[in-house]
Amino acid sequence: RIMIALDNVSKIYGSGQHAITALKDVNLHVPQGDIHGVIGLSGAGKSTLIRCVNLLERPTTGHVSVDDQELTALDRATLNRARHGIGMIFQHFNLLTSRTVFDNVALPLELMRMDKNTIRERVQPLLDLTGLADKADSYPAELSGGQKQRVAIARALASRPKVLLCDEATSALDPQTTSSILGLLEDINRRLGLTILLITHEMEVVKSICHRVSLISDGELVEEAEVGDFFTSP
């Protein structure tokens, strides 16, 4: 079963002589439960591609489906509901500095108008899962980079998504912290059956947790393979 489908997706920024083609006719199908990596140089189109999956960027042409729902065909209200099924984490964590760890993780649930007790029942297990149980009342400024990314992961999981998008999630972290965050992502993939799509410019990230990998170059997916085959091919 395919969880993420990009069909003939192109993205052009701007128009006329300033137009920049960031994605050219991209086709990508990620089966449920896979960890799929997209690797490429800076400017290749990785950010644009991953932001097209939840329509943070709207493709200029083409179709995007997640969990068999075609997002590119939805009105705004339905799209907002569909986005609860798609979590996302970022290179710079994007936490709210004025909120505690608990309140950062609770935020998406508050926006869904969930009541306080249900929120508490949901947030506590996520803090346990991400190893933050003793940090619930801390503020982001009091945390290390790895801990901040754990908060962002817990927040991304709060709405119980089936898909997690990771936008250079370990690029701001040192190697040791990187492996612990990758370990957590692998754990989440195994225990929750979450489908993960990640973009990175680092081979090591792909080697360590991805099942399949696509190579993007100048906005085009130029190769797709099992990770083992990708790295042994001549």
Greatest CA separation found in the chain?
56
Residue labelled with tokens 């960031």: 22
Residue with smaller CB distance to ligand ADP, 138 or 171: 171
Q: Of the two residues 109 and 173, which places its CB atom closer to ligand ADP in the complex?
A: 173
Kindly tell me which of 103 and 202 has the beta carbon lying closer to ligand ADP: 202
Distance CA 57, CA 2 (A): 21
Q: What is the DSSP letter of 73?
A: G
Contact call for residue 20 and ligand ADP (CB under 6 A): yes
Measured CA to CA, the distance from residue 32 to residue 193 in angstroms comes to 8
- For the segment 174-233, give every residue that binds ligand ADP (CB under 6 A): none
Query: Residue 48 or 147: which CB sits closer to ligand ADP?
Result: 48
Q: Which stretch binds ligand ADP (CB under 6 A): 27-35, 39-47, 135-143, 180-188?
A: 39-47
CB of 185 to ligand ADP, least distance (A): 18
Are 132 and 154 a contacting pair, CB within 8 Å? Answer: yes
Q: How many residues bind ligand ADP (CB under 6 A)?
A: 14
The footprint of ligand ADP on residues 92-151 (CB under 6 A) is none
Only one of the segments 43-51, 63-71, 154-162, 175-183 lies at the binding site for ligand ADP (rule: CB under 6 A); that segment is: 43-51
- The DSSP annotation for 94-152 comes to ---TTS-HHHHHHHHHHHTT--HHHHHHHHHHHHHHTT-GGGTT--GGGS-HHHHHHHH
What is the three-class DSSP state of 83?
A: helix
Residues 63-92 that bind ligand ADP (CB under 6 A): 91
Token code pair at residue 170: 């370990």
The footprint of ligand ADP on residues 160-179 (CB under 6 A) is 168
- Which residues, at least 6 apart from 3, have a Cβ–Cβ distance to it below 8 Å? 30, 31, 32, 33, 34, 66, 67, 162, 163, 195
- For residues 121 and 223, which CB has a smaller minimum distance to ligand ADP in the complex? 223
The least distance separating ligand ADP from the CB of residue 171, rounded to whole angstroms, comes to 7
**Cα Rg, the chain, nearest whole Å:** 18
CB of 127 to ligand ADP, least distance (A): 28
Minimum CB separation from ligand ADP for residue 23, in Å? 8
Which region among 40-48, 70-78, 110-118, 147-155 touches ligand ADP (by CB under 6 A)? Answer: 40-48
Interacting residues toward ligand ADP by CB under 6 A: 13-14, 20, 22, 40, 42-48, 91, 168
